[in-house]
Chain A
Amino acid sequence: MHEEVIISGFGGQGALFAGQLLTYTGMDEGWHVTWIPSYGPEMRGGTAHCIVILSDDTIGSPIIRQPSVCVVMNPPSMEKYEPLVKPGGLLVANSTLVRARSSRDDIETVYIPANELAAELGNVKMANVVLLGAMLGTREILPIESVKRTLDEHIPERRKQIIEPNKRALERGVQYVREV
């Protein structure tokens, strides 16, 4: 396996957390992993993104130009990354905020109203994990059950209350893409 994932959204939408969840899961599953956030002026009022690499080989460059899988949570991220997804790659867009549609026919696209679905589950802030569910429900680069185990094992004691809601958000994302 070698997947290069970009997750991108406004600061506060949880792109970095979703990426870390993926990275922890990858590590626990025995893959080589790297997670790198955007840092610097870009974060102030703009878009925050992270790059996650999961590989069966040691990872050289942790930065990449063309992701094989990309999750875009807001319109600027769609504009920036949609053209960059590798041919044959996967683009998952949060259609609550992203109105545009990709015109590319060489990539797989998933549009999911993640904010609405997360709000229905009780907290719009879980849109990031709904999107992660949609991503893994479309391409199971890591098993959903492993992601749940990661939540159990790596969320610190003082934040235990977020585990079950996030598991439901993950499942909601999977369920949505299986239905459409």
Chain B
Amino acid sequence: MLSIKNLTVNVNDKQILKGINLEIKPGEIHAIMGPNGSGKSTLSHVLSGKGGYTVTGGSATYQGKDLLEMAPEIRAREGVFLAFQYPVEIPGVSNIYLLKAALNSIRKHHGQPEVDAMDFLTLVKEKVRLLEMDEKFLYRAVNEGFSGGEKKRNEILQMAILEPKLCIMDETDSGLDIDALKIVSEGVNSLRSPERSFVMVTHYQRLLDYIKPDFVHVLANGQIVKSGGAELALELEDKGYSWLEEEAA
């Protein structure tokens, strides 16, 4: 699904990622953990194509294609989905308009006709129910005036409708209370499938109580310093990050 080899990235001439290696197979859930400033968000941004980052070396191959060569929207149409840490408010563009624009862009990319208006509405309403959202949300401007939990739920709604193959979740648990965290996690779990992979970037272990990862990687100072199974997250919860950072140094 995704193969990252020796990836190095600069921001304003400062090296942030210092040689990342990661193999993600279909159906796997990988958690990327690490302290603040370790490069976690940089990794998710570079994979989704955000500007302001310079790739100085290495590669990221997604389904056999050079991911880093693609424009952000092409990555999205090819099935890469970034769930934002801070979803952006877009006044004047309704949720349902954006969903329709996004879904039809994907269909067009794959040579399919536009989705039928009735089928689309049925699909969207089904997903809205699944995430325990109010249908009124569909007609409100994207994220405008939404609470933190509503914004995250909205990200999962988009994910459920666009059906990506690789979901990159950037600090999804930040700003969520326990009820919202449960709903969001249930949403993510319902989307797990043998064909869909997840990269969960998170500072805390608590999200992993709800979404069980197959692999946990610890990012420190721009490198993956330790990889293991779900139990590694518990160890981190116990001991913090400093022992790993010392080991790496």
Q: Do A and B make up one complex?
A: no
Interface residues of B (CB under 8 A from A): none
